[in-house]
Amino acid sequence: MKRWALALVTAALLVAAACAAQPRKAETEQTITDRARGVRYVVPAGWKFSDAEIRSPQGSLLTLRVYDLVEADKQFVAGLPDTLFPQLLEWAELYYRVEGPPVRTATKIAGLPATEMTYPVRVRPKDPPSKVIYWIVIRKTRLFVMRTAYPPSGLAEDEPIIRNVLGRWVFLETGGNDDQ
């Protein structure tokens, strides 16, 4: 009976993996409207895109996470973005060696106040330095966290392109109407 159950689980995992969306490559700039997450952004030509992430040919990765704050702890929400910083550090340390304290910068995304946290990182101790950047935006009852991880070889070329993507970012009404 155990072999049968193992075979069933293995088959289910294989089917799930086969059904997973493969990243598509944007031959020209492509505008993505993600109504479920409430955003619109432009994928640069030559970059791959999939569910809430875009990847450069050099391997830089921009991801988006959106959190509903309606049922969140009121003290946590009142302290944002500062109350999120320990989690950002934990996420950065999950994949990288964080090489020092982050640099915090006040900025704007789509006209809304945003906090940018830049962490100096390395993948391995002898690797060249790079960085991971988080942008935090609170819009109404949602928390948007964008993260970019740059490989050292892609940092110089990709950072201005990612900043351009964020410069053209649009937040949508969750009901589908465009509204900044």
Residue with tokens 């589908």: 176
Separation CA 9–CA 12 (nearest Å): 5
Domains recognised in the chain with CATH numbers: 24-171 (3.40.1000.10)
User: What pLDDT sits at residue 173?
Assistant: 86
- Successive 10-residue mean pLDDT values, the chain, 180 residues: 46 44 78 95 95 95 96 96 97 95 98 98 94 97 97 95 97 60
CB 132 within 8 A of CB 121: yes
User: What pLDDT sits at residue 24?
Assistant: 78
User: What pLDDT sits at residue 120?
Assistant: 97
Nearest to 138, CA basis, from 165, 108, 102, 163: 108
Separation CA 11–CA 79 (nearest Å): 45
User: What pLDDT sits at residue 8?
Assistant: 41
Structural tokens at position 173: 């009404």
